């Protein structure tokens, strides 16, 4: 049994069920299924085994060399796993092999699970960016829980200026992707893109051609490592918001979204339509929602959206086929995006304890480590501000707090504070303001510049203080997204 592949399976399981990271014994309840047909989804695979007992989690990864998949199932009870292993056999057309995890791997299970959890943490910014490219409606409609396996997740190099339509063409010509695409999305601030297909047939073999992407300044992620499941609480309650990638819910995208309706939309190939629209208009995303019989086009600017709205019927016939198309500009303000609810208190408690342990290993001046922990703690709150967007100019980290500082004091002192987290064991705090203007005013307070004011003096408030503008896209953390960039002092460099 390939230990590296088992580690990848564990990593996907931890991404799907974070509580498994704290349970090094779950491999005794796990089955490894090999030679899985590329059309078998996690839900379909799990259905073969539920008669033996409840299954806690199921994941599938691609095997590019063989053009098939490998999977792992974890039962709640070890006895159910044992019975399934003894009773089940290969199913032609579904999977070729089934086995329990072998003794050598079980002997090293504690270290293996820890390594996989650490690797999952290192890849978490990629997982979060992927999550932000996928509309909630896609997850709601993903009954087989295989959208990540129907997706080509691309990494764009610093020199890449590829558009979604161009990336779709590269996927067809260089990766030999086939089938009808339902979405093409470029997430430029994260240097990532995706092409989603209606089916996953033969998509495993695309990985064997990934070296062809180097010439285009592109790379291919193994999207099987990032399983996605719809939130139990449902969408946002506003139809158009549920149709958009999450990163498009930022106010920056107001007036840049065009909704297309028409009898032929449900049959549209998103990639082909995007390439035709891009002949005249710069597109950042085009997504087809077949069940709703509509499509969403996200363009570069409001002016581009107005130009697209002014296009003739002939343009839309070339782009979308012979049926009439109705275009609608979406420019209504949207409420802030709220985080996914955490349904199980024990999961929250485990995550809080893990964040505390990581922070306790940090030195008092470890800006990256303490900032990472503070952001994670804040994001675990029921009404978190971390995922509400536009944090690039609203959040600051304070280090060297006086031992008497509290969250209430900081919120009252600064004013216009949306959220505050204090971890006094390391004398650190994260303050998220309601607006960028409020954050800018905070830089002019006596706490930020004690030299120019008599009170409160620095020694009354902080031993030493650094204010950081904390943005959220590339920090190596499960819940934060950006680099922490120093505002004061300007020459302090954080690790990437």
pLDDT-derived band of residue 336, with 50, 70 and 90 as boundaries? very low
Tokens of 243: 């149709």
Q: How many residues does the chain have?
A: 496
Residue 301 lies in a domain: yes
Q: Are residues 161 and 310 in the same domain?
A: yes
State the average pLDDT for the chain. 80
Q: What is the pLDDT of residue 238?
A: 44
Q: What is the pLDDT of residue 108?
A: 85
Instruction: Judge whether residue 326 has pLDDT over 60.
Output: yes
Q: What is the pLDDT of residue 444?
A: 64
Per residue in 196-250, pLDDT (tens digit) is 999 988 788 898 899 999 999 999 998 989 998 765 444 444 467 889 998 988 8
Q: What is the pLDDT of residue 344?
A: 55
- 184 Ramachandran zone, left/alpha/beta (phi>0; psi -120 to 50): beta
Q: Are residues 351 and 387 in the same domain?
A: yes
Residue 43 lies in a domain: yes
Residue 496 lies in a domain: no
Cis ω for the linkage preceding 456 (within 30 of 0):
yes
Q: Are residues 156 and 305 in the same domain?
A: yes
Q: Are residues 287 and 174 in the same domain?
A: yes
Q: What is the pLDDT of residue 462?
A: 27
What CA–CA distance (Å, rounded) separates 281 from 185? 15
Tokens of 382: 């029921």
Q: Are residues 414 and 331 in the same domain?
A: no
Inter-residue contact 159 to 146 (CB < 8 Å): no
Q: Are residues 109 and 220 in the same domain?
A: no
What CA–CA distance (Å, rounded) separates 489 from 24? 43
Cis ω for the linkage preceding 46 (within 30 of 0):
no
Q: Are residues 401 and 325 in the same domain?
A: no
* 131-135-138 Cα angle (round to 5): 105
Residue 38 lies in a domain: yes
Last residue of a domain, one of 104, 122, 140: 122
Last residue of a domain, one of 122, 149, 174: 122
Per-residue H/E/C for the chain: CCHHHHHHHHHHHHHHCHHHHHCCCHHHHEEEEEEECCCCCHHHHHHCCHHHCCEEEEEEEEECCCCEEEEEEEECCHHHHHHHHHHCCCECCCECEEEECCHHHHHCHHHHHHHHHHHHHHCHHHHHHHHHHCCHHHHHHCCCCCHHHCEEEEEECCCCCCCHHHHHHHHHHCCCCCCCEEEEEEEHHHCEEEEEECCCCCHHHHHHHHHHHHHHCEEECCHHHCCCCCCCCCCCCCHHHHHCCHHHHCHHHCCCEEEEECCCHHHCCHHHHHHHHCCCCCEEEEEEECCCCEEEEEECCHHHHHHHHCCCHHHHHHHHCCCCCEEEEECCCCCCCCCCCCCCHHHHHHHHHHHHHHHHCCCCCCHHHHHHHHHHHHHCCCCCCCCCCCCCCCEEEEECECCCCCHHHHHHHHCCEEEEEEECCCCEEEEEECCHHHHHHHCCCCCCCHHHCCCCCHHHHECCCCCEEECCCCCCCCCCCCCEEECCCCCCCCCC
* Structural domain boundaries enclosing 383: 345-486
Residue 493 lies in a domain: no
Residue 214 lies in a domain: yes
Q: What is the pLDDT of residue 342?
A: 42
Inter-residue contact 18 to 351 (CB < 8 Å): yes
What CA–CA distance (Å, rounded) separates 167 from 175? 11
Tokens of 267: 């049959």
Lowest mean pLDDT among 124-138, 392-406, 408-422, 468-482: 468-482
Residue found under tokens 């999305």: 185
* Averaged pLDDT for residues 395-402: 79
Per residue in 444-496, pLDDT (tens digit) is 665 544 322 222 233 322 222 233 333 222 223 333 333 333 322 222 222 22
Per residue in 49-83, pLDDT (tens digit) is 999 999 999 999 988 777 789 999 999 999 999 99
What CA–CA distance (Å, rounded) separates 484 from 468? 7
Instruction: Judge whether residue 115 has pLDDT over 70.
Output: yes
Residue 203 lies in a domain: yes
Q: What is the pLDDT of residue 170?
A: 95
Last residue of a domain, one of 73, 93, 122: 122
Counting the structural domains of the chain, the total is: 3
Share of the chain above pLDDT 90, in %: 40
Residue 45 is part of a domain; what is its CATH number? 3.30.70.330
Residue found under tokens 């930020």: 448
Tokens of 53: 């007992």
Q: Are residues 87 and 11 in the same domain?
A: yes
Residue found under tokens 């997706």: 151
Q: Are residues 49 and 164 in the same domain?
A: no
What CA–CA distance (Å, rounded) separates 78 from 60? 21
Inter-residue contact 186 to 171 (CB < 8 Å): no
* Averaged pLDDT for residues 2-26: 87
Highest mean pLDDT among 390-399, 408-417, 430-439, 481-490: 408-417
Inter-residue contact 148 to 200 (CB < 8 Å): no
Sign of CA dihedral 274, 278, 283, 284: positive
Instruction: Judge whether residue 400 has pLDDT over 60.
Output: yes
What CA–CA distance (Å, rounded) separates 32 from 60? 10
Per residue in 205-218, pLDDT (tens digit) is 898 899 999 999 99
pLDDT-derived band of residue 340, with 50, 70 and 90 as boundaries? very low
Q: Which residues pair with 286 in a beta bridge?
A: 184, 297
Q: Are residues 202 and 261 in the same domain?
A: yes
Instruction: Judge whether residue 382 has pLDDT over 50.
Output: yes
Per residue in 141-179, pLDDT (tens digit) is 888 999 999 999 999 988 788 999 999 999 999 999 999
Residue found under tokens 């549920």: 242
Q: Are residues 102 and 34 in the same domain?
A: yes
Residue 116 lies in a domain: yes
Q: Are residues 330 and 411 in the same domain?
A: no
């Amino acid at each position: 049994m390939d230990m590296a592949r088992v580690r990848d399976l564990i990593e996907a399981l931890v991404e799907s069920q974070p509580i498994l990271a704290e349970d090094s014994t779950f491999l005794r309840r796990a089955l490894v299924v090999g030679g899985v047909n590329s059309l078998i989804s996690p839900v379909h695979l799990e259905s073969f085994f539920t008669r033996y007992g409840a299954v806690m989690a199921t994941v599938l990864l691609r095997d590019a060399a063989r053009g098939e998949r490998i999977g792992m199932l974890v039962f709640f009870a070890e006895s159910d796993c044992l019975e399934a292993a003894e009773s089940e056999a290969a199913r032609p057309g579904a999977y070729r092999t089934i086995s329990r995890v072998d003794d050598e791997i079980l002997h090293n299970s504690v270290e293996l699970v820890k390594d996989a959890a650490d690797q999952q943490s290192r890849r978490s910014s990629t997982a979060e960016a992927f999550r932000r490219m996928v509309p909630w409606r896609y997850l709601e409609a993903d009954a087989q829980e295989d959208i990540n396996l129907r997706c080509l997740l691309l990494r764009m190099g610093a020199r890449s200026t590829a558009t979604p339509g161009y990336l779709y063409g590269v996927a067809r010509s260089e990766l030999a992707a086939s089938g009808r695409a339902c979405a093409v999305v470029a997430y430029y601030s994260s240097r990532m893109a995706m092409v989603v297909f209606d089916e996953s047939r033969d998509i495993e073999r695309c990985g064997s051609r990934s070296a062809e992407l180097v010439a285009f300044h592109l790379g291919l992620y193994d999207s099987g490592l990032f399983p996605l499941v719809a939130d139990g609480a449902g969408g946002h309650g506003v139809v158009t918001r549920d149709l958009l990638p999450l990163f498009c819910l930022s106010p920056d995208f107001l007036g840049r979204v065009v909704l297309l309706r028409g009898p032929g939309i449900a049959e549209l190939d998103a990639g082909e339509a995007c390439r035709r629209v891009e002949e005249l208009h710069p597109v950042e995303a085009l997504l087809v929602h077949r069940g709703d019989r509509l499509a969403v086009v996200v363009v570069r600017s409001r002016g581009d959206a107005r130009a697209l709205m002014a296009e003739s019927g002939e343009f839309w016939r070339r782009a979308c086929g012979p049926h009439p198309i109705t275009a609608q500009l979406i420019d209504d303000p949207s409420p802030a995006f709220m985080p996914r609810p955490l349904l199980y208190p024990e999961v929250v408690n485990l995550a809080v304890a893990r964040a505390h342990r990581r922070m306790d290993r940090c030195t008092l001046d470890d800006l990256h480590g303490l900032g990472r922990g503070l952001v994670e703690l804040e994001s675990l709150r029921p009404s978190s501000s971390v995922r509400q967007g536009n944090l690039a100019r609203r959040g600051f980290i304070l280090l060297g707090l006086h031992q008497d500082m509290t969250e209430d004091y900081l919120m009252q002192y600064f004013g216009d504070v949306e959220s505050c987290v204090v971890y006094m064991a390391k004398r650190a705090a994260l303050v998220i303001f309601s607006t960028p203007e409020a954050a800018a005013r905070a830089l002019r307070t006596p706490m930020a510049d004690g030299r120019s004011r008599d009170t409160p003096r620095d020694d009354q408030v902080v031993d030493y203080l650094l204010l950081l503008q904390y943005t959220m896209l590339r920090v190596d953390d499960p819940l934060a997204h950006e680099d922490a960039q120093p505002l004061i002092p300007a020459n302090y460099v954080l690790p990437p």
